[in-house]
């Protein structure tokens, strides 16, 4: 039988299986789009705002009321409750009515004027990391402003310094912070640009493991290999190429939604990101094939792909800067394809640097295609000697 006939028969068999198995179509087409819409809508407001908090003002002095006004002016928090005691605020926090509270003790102004050190406290519920970080930032800012106001009051009371000298003493160096490419601290800009491709990569790896190992599970691997003329390369290519086309299309749809509909930062030639998507898809499929070659078992290979896919959200630098990790954890992040796609998107879409500086990451994604080649004989051996272990 001629090679082109073998390839056509293998492709036909793979397409029939893809159409017949509705779960695969659901996993390949529906789930990526649903997850994309969910995450985009979840972060559509950008930065977290109006986190509900309580305030306990036991002083009632002009200074404490000024602190309260400064806190209410913070965009990240919303004073939902005014409590009369520490216990009442703590109960509201435990019931989930607020996510934190600011505590102003008795005689704040009196102790300040008297040269004593009053203590202003704040309590934050870190069960919800993102809103808690927002309210912590607001509490910390107000506390620092309060310290500055107290110090200014004490220096003014001495009469030894002029108002300008007081300001220079409290803040000898002025700082201006400029958030590059994301001055609004929009969470969608740096979370969706990483989480959505990482989620797609996880789905690609699990789908690849499922579609290949199903041949072992249902004892059809002999038929699969015979249809491909005994060539494991033809068998795998015929099975995965339809998935590659669909996943690449889904990836481009994600990019369209992110960059053109939701206007995430995009400062490069569109072809730079368009090219990166099929490379990511092929690299993730090759990584999954490598896991199957390492352990030709459905459960074990799926577990390995799930482990690397889920851990990618953490050790690839999406939620925690890679520079802050232990060196060995940072090194593990470079072993998965999504890390290199993430660096491409940061360099190209977010920062708009020259393509030359991203060349290594493109090359590494291409290099993933070579990783499973020396071990493909293990999949062929499994097809010729099928022993399915659940």
Q: Where are the domains of the chain?
A: 3-44+186-384, 51-170
pLDDT digits (tens, 9 = 90+) for 106-159: 888 888 777 777 888 888 888 776 778 778 888 888 877 777 666 666 666 666
CA distance 149 to 171: 12
Section 243-260 average pLDDT: 93
| Class of the domain covering 51-170 | alpha beta
* Of 197, 358, 346, 191, nearest in space to 283 by CA: 197
CA distance 156 to 159: 5
CA distance 147 to 153: 10
DSSP assignment letter at 350: I
CA distance 362 to 368: 10
3-state secondary structure of 371: coil
pLDDT for res 172: 65
The two beta strands, 121-124 and 100-104, are antiparallel
* Residue 204 CB neighbour total at 10 angstroms: 32
Tokens found for residue 224: 């699969």
More confident call, 162 vs 368: 368
pLDDT for res 193: 84
* Of 180, 163, 178, 122, nearest in space to 146 by CA: 122
The lowest-confidence range among 3-17, 18-32, 285-299, 318-332 is 318-332
pTM of the model: 0.78
């Amino acid at each position: 039988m001629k090679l082109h006939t073998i390839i056509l028969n293998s492709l036909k068999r793979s397409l029939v299986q893809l159409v017949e198995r509705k779960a695969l179509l659901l996993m390949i087409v529906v789930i990526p789009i649903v997850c994309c819409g969910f995450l985009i809508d979840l972060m559509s407001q950008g930065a977290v705002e109006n986190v509900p908090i309580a305030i306990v003002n036991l002083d009632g002095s002009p200074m404490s009321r000024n602190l309260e006004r400064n806190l209410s002016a913070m965009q990240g928090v919303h004073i939902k409750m005014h409590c009369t005691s520490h216990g009442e605020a703590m109960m509201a926090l435990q019931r989930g009515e607020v996510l934190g509270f600011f505590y102003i003790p008795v005689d704040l102004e009196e102790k300040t004027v008297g040269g004593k050190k009053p203590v202003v406290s704040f309590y934050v519920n870190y069960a919800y990391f993102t809103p808690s970080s927002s309210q912590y930032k607001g509490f910390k800012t107000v506390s620092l402003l309060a310290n500055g106001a107290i110090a200014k009051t004490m220096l003014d009371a001495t009469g030894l310094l002029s108002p300008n000298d007081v300001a220079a003493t409290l803040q000898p160096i002025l700082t201006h912070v400029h958030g590059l490419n994301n001055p609004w601290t929009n969470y969608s800009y740096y979370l969706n640009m990483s989480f959505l491709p990482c989620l797609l990569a996880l789905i690609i790896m699990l789908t690849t493991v499922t579609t290949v190992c199903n041949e072992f599970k249902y004892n059809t691997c002999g038929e699969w290999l015979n249809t491909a003329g005994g060539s494991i390369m033809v068998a795998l290519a015929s099975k995965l190429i339809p998935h590659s086309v669909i996943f690449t299309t889904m990836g481009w749809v994600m990019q369209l939604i992110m960059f053109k509909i939701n206007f995430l930062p995009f400062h490069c030639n569109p072809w730079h990101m368009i090219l990166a998507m099929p490379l990511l898809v092929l690299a993730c499929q090759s990584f999954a094939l490598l896991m199957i070659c390492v352990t030709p078992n459905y459960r074990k290979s799926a577990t390995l792909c799930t482990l690397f896919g889920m851990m990618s959200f953490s050790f690839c630098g999406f939620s925690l800067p890679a520079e802050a990790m232990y060196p060995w954890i940072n090194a593990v992040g470079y072993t998965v394809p999504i890390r290199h796609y993430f660096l491409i998107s940061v360099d190209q879409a977010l920062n708009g640097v020259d393509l030359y500086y991203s060349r290594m990451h493109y090359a590494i994604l291409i290099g993933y295609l070579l990783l499973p080649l020396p071990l493909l004989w293990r999949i062929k051996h499994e097809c010729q000697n099928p022993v399915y272990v659940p």
